[in-house]
Structure formats: C-alpha cells, structure tokens
Amino acid sequence: MWQERSAIEWLRWLAEGRVSAVELVDAAFQAIERTDSRVRAFLHLRPEQARVEARSIDERRRRGEELGLLAGLPIAVKDVLCVRGEPTTCGSRMLAEFRPPYDATVIERLRAAGAVLVGKTNLDEFAMGSSTENSAFFPTRNPWDLSRVPGGSSGGAAACLAAGQVPLSVGTDTGGSIRQPAAFCGVVGLKPTYGRVSRYGLVAYASSLDQVGPMARTAEDVALLLSVLAGHDPRDSTSAPVAAEAYHQGLDAPLGRLRIGVIREHFESGLSPSIAGAVRQALDVLAQMGAELVEVTMPHSPYAIAAYYLVAPCEASSNLARYDGMHYGLRCDESLPAGDGNEGRQDASRLVRVYRASRSQGFGLEVKRRIMLGTFALSAGYQDRYYVKALRVRRLIRADYERAFERVDVLAGPTTPSTAFRFGEKLADPLAMYLEDLFTVGANLAGVPALSLPCGFDENGLPIGLQLQAPWFREKRLLQLAHQFQQRTDWHKRRPAL
C-alpha cells in the first residue's frame, strides 16, 4: 500500500476523506504482519495504542478541529528515543526492561503533529555499528536481498521503509547511521545540522556527534518530517537557537546556478566501480539541471575515520558509565556469604562484582570494544596522545568544510564505498566494518547537514546512494536539490520484490 503514494499524497487523501487514519494504521500493521517475519525491522509494536490514537484523529477530523502536519500518518521510530511507559531498549540487554518515565522531545513533537507511532525499530546496540548485526535481540535484513545487511545503526528504520511497512521513520546519525542504511536500502535519509533537532530523550552514544533525523522514500517526505522535528528546545543545551522552516514548502523553487563540489578524495582507492559509475551519472543529471560541477579537495578527510573512532568511543565510555547495575537497567547480583567479620571488605568486593557482572553480561562485544577503546584513550598518559589529538584533527576537518563552502554551495559524492554486504562478512574484521563510514563521518565531525538519496543499482541489484552535504543550517537547499533530482529520475520509485 505504501508503495502506491508518498506520505504527502496520503495526507491529501486523509484531508479529502478518501481514507481514514484507522485504515492507514491497519494497512501498516497488515504490511508488517506480511513481511516482518523475514525483515525483522521492529523490536516493539504498539497496535492497540496506535489504533486508539488513529480513531481519535479521525474523530477530531470529523468535528472539524485543527490537526497537526502529520495527522493520521503511521510512523516508526528507532528504539533509542524515549517513549513514556514503553520499551526503550537501544537494542541492548542492558535496557531490555527499561520503560522511560517521559517522552523525548522528538516524540512530543510527533504526537503534537498527529503522527501515529506504530512501533520502535531495531538497531545496532546503543547505535554502535554499521550493519544492525550488533543488536542484542536479532539482526534486521535488507528487503532488497535478505542475505544482506540493511546497514546501521538505523537499519530497522531504513528497512521498514524499503519493505513498505510505513511511509515515514525516524533514525539517529552519529557517524552515518541514517545515511548509510538509507543508501543500502534505497531510501532517503537526512542527518540535520548538529543542534537542529533536539536530543532531549535520546539515549546518548556520543553527545557531540549524535543527531536525530528523518527518513522516507522521497526527499519531499523527508522535508515534511523535518518540518515537525526541527526547532529549538531549551531542555537540550546543545539545541541551536535557530528558527526552523517549513522545509516541505517551496521545494520546486528555482535553484539558480548552484556550484556543486565533487569531493576528489571520495573517488580514490576503496570505492566500488559500480558506485563510482552511478554517482558520476547522478552528477551528470545535476549538471543537466543547471548546476556547475567543481572538483574540491578535503585534504584531511583521510584522517576522519581515525579521528571519529577516537572521539566517539571516548564520549561513549563516559556516557555508558551510568549503566552499572545500580540505578536502572540490567543488574547481575552475585551475592557473597556474610558473617565472617569481614562484612565491609565483602560489601566492597560485592559491589565491584555486581559492576563487572552487570556490564559484562549487559553489553555486547562491539559496545565493550568501543568502551574499552574510549577508556584507554582517556586514561592518564594517553589522553593528549589520542583524544586531544583527535579533537585537533576534528577542527582541521571542519576547516576543510569551511574552505570548501567558500567555493561551492553543496558537496556531492558517494554515501558508502560499497553496497550492502552479506551477514557475517565483516564481523570478524572491525576495521573493515568501520571503513563503511568512510564518507559519512566527516559531516558529523563538522556538524554539517548531509543527505543520502538513491541514485542507481549495482550489478547485484542493490541500491546505491548519492550523498549531498551543505553548509550549517542549509537543510532546505539539500532538500530542494534532492527533490528536484528525484523529479528527473526514478531510482526512488523502484521497490524490492519482497
């Protein structure tokens, strides 16, 4: 059903009375029932609550009440955003029983806009991964080829769109976790400018990098969802005091003669030939639209992966220290016998054992790896050598972007170096897995907005993503360019034969 029309078109049908919110929500759950036993995009579904919310929207519409921008549309949210009283697991055993006492700001805004949350999607544990194989519960599969990964960490949020289960989803992006799965699954994903969308109620991985963002099958639908998500939030100290826009309006406005920078380093060694060819063809389309293509160099981009995989684990080491088995989350209580006169020493020993057991059993291998890497890099004698040096490189990468945007309006290149890989193919080689983020981490380190959209398929019929990046808070420019590209191409209209 969702293959037939975009979210914008369904909203028009809702307004005209040609379909009801209840019918759309029922259609979403029917699609999930048909396909999710194979795709496994969802960790938690809420059919009863969703139908109650949909009926309420239909009744308010019949009474002529003013409704929100997304009123009646089903939506899925990555299970790293707090929903009051409902599971928020972060794909981890550590939080398998956690029920937050409050809603994230993003959830509040979706509710106010009338969106109907159908469920929470699967992810790599604590958003640490590029394949959704690191979920503590089960892997999510790519609807284009069930033997391959959907990308990560927002793999479930991308897969549920590609599988036609819902028209909109929300993901998070710390180093490419929206854009890489969007590329692998043939959908559109936007990482907004850092601070554009509130992080209040987002379970933190790396606080200076994390950003919530919209995902859909068209750039127009992504723009619609961003119009709801964006905006200043005083409860988030990193939220930018910059006014949001109606991003979904004016997408057809003339772009003028945009200067598009083609990043030279992203076409060098390590890039799949099929991706290079598809992206070059997409650049030709942009040129036919009137854009001027200019080669630009980002001299410090080869160091982005190394800098990212020091900054992010250091912040993760600090953020995840709270999961100690004492306050909330998994607790593995290994009691010691008492009564031998050494109760004080035994209590201290028991505390350490509870910490050790809870964290050992609650965290998966990849999360442990990143915690240990970050803890080591922050330890005495090593902080200046690793963490502080990585921060200096981060500043150089930001300077590369500043210089590039003095010459061009938008940067373009591939989203990923390869298309979706098979399950288990990279698990034994963490470095090979980390290199999947080769082209995406720079935007997070610099804080700029970046978008991935479909631009072709490889020889195995797997989607290829084109990445567009813009100066800080220029999301509208990205969305206009992506929308007008999609008016001239049909890559986003193709569907997997699931």
Catalytic machinery residues:
78, 153, 177
**Closest of 476, 355, 492, 454 to residue 410, by C-alpha:** 476
Task: For residues 242 and 196, give the distance between their C-alpha atoms in angstroms, rounded to a whole number.
Answer: 8
Instruction: Identify the three-state secondary structure at position 455.
Output: strand
119 in Cβ contact with 76 (< 8 Å): yes
**Distance set, CA 181 to CA 123, 254, 437, 470 (Å):** 11, 30, 11, 20
C-alpha to C-alpha distance for 324 and 321, rounded to whole angstroms: 7
Alpha helices in 74-176 (DSSP H): 105-112, 155-162
Integer angstrom CA distances of residue 384 from 220, 302, 311, 388: 45, 21, 12, 5
Sheet strand arrangement including 168-173:
42-45, 116-121, 74-78, 168-173, 211-216, 188-191, 450-457, 463-469, 410-414, 259-263, 292-296
Give the three-class secondary structure for 226.
helix
- 3-state helix, strand, coil split of the chain in percent (to 5) is 45, 15, 45
Q: How many CA atoms lie within 13 A of 156 on its CB side?
A: 33
Distance CA 133, CA 65 (A): 45
Tokens of 487: 């008016």
8 A C-beta contact, residue 397 and residue 391: no
